[in-house]
Structure 1
Amino acid sequence: MSSRELALFGTSADPPTEGHQALLLGLAERYGQVAAWASDNPFKQHGAPLELRAQLLGTLIESLGNDQVQLAQDLSSPKAIETLDRAARRWPDRQLVFVVGGDLAAQIPSWYRAADLLQRCRLTVVPRQGHPMATGALEKLRDLGAQVELLELPVPATASSAIRGGQENSSIPEVLWPELLKHNLYGLTSKLAP
């Protein structure tokens, strides 16, 4: 771990899960500092507005009690290159490490100015349990000039999409339930709360 490294992790946080919690703590252990934000991924449909997802992610981060992990919502942009520009201005002396889940690795080459992004930062791909990475995804990223690190972290096989779809709610961190119920999100009711 280098004290100059800063992990950048954008997530839909729709809603944040115990998987996000484990990932953030694992990134802090590996890189020392983590800046996270809720994002509007133009390739996804979202179940809650960005402002509310950012609030949920902030609540989750605060509950971690770890000063190495911070909400940096001002980095959020639908274009990853803009996020990277904002981070580089904010932390000019840090080595920026852009972090994505393995399920997004194959999508990156289609991102706006993907080659520029990949040549200006390191890329860490964290495989997701139950979501296999597309064959050849890492090779395609390397062909675009990416310095790719595959980082295996003990992240539970959780999926926000399963919560949005009503199939699962046990992976919702307890600290988020009050806000989820207050805003009547994802069809959750107090009967389902822990």
Structure 2
Amino acid sequence: MSAKPALALLGTSADPPTEGHRALLEGLAEHYGQVATWASDNPFKQHGAPLELRAQLLGALVEAIGDPRIQHVQELSNPRALITLERASERWPEQELVFVVGGDLAGQVPSWWKAAELLQHCRLAVVPRQGFALDPAALEAIRSLGGQPELLNLPVPATASSVIRRHPSPEQVPAALWAELVRHNLYGLGQQPSRTPR
């Protein structure tokens, strides 16, 4: 077991950030003690808003959470996870890096650019998502590349950005994001709902 303090790395499309993102970030902070997050362009996904706007939304969420253990570090963002990891290693040479993915993305990891090299230089944590069955074959494929995926069961609600893009659900979007969503008329959420903010 490494004596280095752990740092969880969470890249997310944040398209838009949801209450699930909030719960995940808070859960990772409790589990690992420190979290760095950024908005990313996932080459396997279509995005509903430009990266710059998604980064602003994620930054607003991190600011609203107000936990010093959670940092928004947009400079880590790169479509290639290995480059992100290299940037993180340079920034935090004394930290043990834990790359975090949702269970629905675990199957993509073996197809990432230089995936085996990535898995040699970090721990991989997989957070199962409600409503998405975690394929055991995906974990086995990661192991075949030398990774040792850690299953991390955190109390994350079953929210999905893709569902919100198709069917706007104000209750699933953190109140801190509404000003930006309304200003840019994003995701069909063009007016601020009347509700009690968190």
TM-score class, shorter: over 0.9
- 2:69 alignment partner in structure 1: 68
TM-score if structure 2 supplies the norm length? 0.94
In structure 1, the partner of 2:98 is 97
Instruction: State the one-letter code of the partner of 1:138.
Output: L
1:79 corresponds to which residue? Answer: 80
Output aligned runs, 1:47-58, within 5 Å. Answer: 47-58=48-59
Instruction: State the identity as a percent.
Output: 64
In the alignment of these two chains, the number of paired residues is 194
| Aligned partner of residue 6 in structure 1, secondary structure | strand
Within 5 Å, which residues of 2 pair with 1:37-52?
37-52=38-53
Following superposition, the deviation at residue 192 of structure 1 comes to: 4.3
Change (3 A) 1:174 1:3: farther
Match of 2:129, SS state, is coil
Unaligned residue ranges in structure 2 (runs of 5+):
none
Give me the TM-score of the superposition, normalised by structure 1.
0.96
Q: Does 1:112 align with 2:116?
A: no
In the TM superposition, 1:1-194 aligns within 5 A as 4-190=5-191, 192=193, 194=195
Contact map agreement 1:28 1:68 (CA 8 A) in 2 = yes
Deviation at 1:99, TM superposition (A): 0.2
Question: What letter is aligned with 1:104?
Answer: L
Aligned-pair RMSD on alpha carbons?
1.5
Structure 1, gaps ≥5 residues long: none
Structure 1 pair 140–35 and aligned structure 2 pair: CA distance change class (3 A): same
- Partner deviation per Cα, 1:41-100 (whole Å, 9 max, x = no partner): 000000001011000000000111100000010000000000000000001111000000
TM-aligned CA distance change 1:44 to 1:193, over 3 Å:
farther
Provide the secondary structure at the position in 2 that maps to 1:107: helix
1:115–1:19 Cα change, 3 Å: same
Q: Is the 8 A contact 2:178 2:192 kept in 1?
A: no
What is the CA–CA distance in structure 2 between the aligned matches of 1:193 and 1:185, rounded to whole Å?
18
Give the C-alpha shift of residue 11 in structure 1: 0.1
Asked if structure 1 preserves the Cα contact closer than 8 Å seen for 2:37 and 2:74, the reply is yes
Structure 1: 4+ residue segments shifted above 2 A? 166-169, 191-194
Name the amino acid aligned to 1:119.
Answer: Q
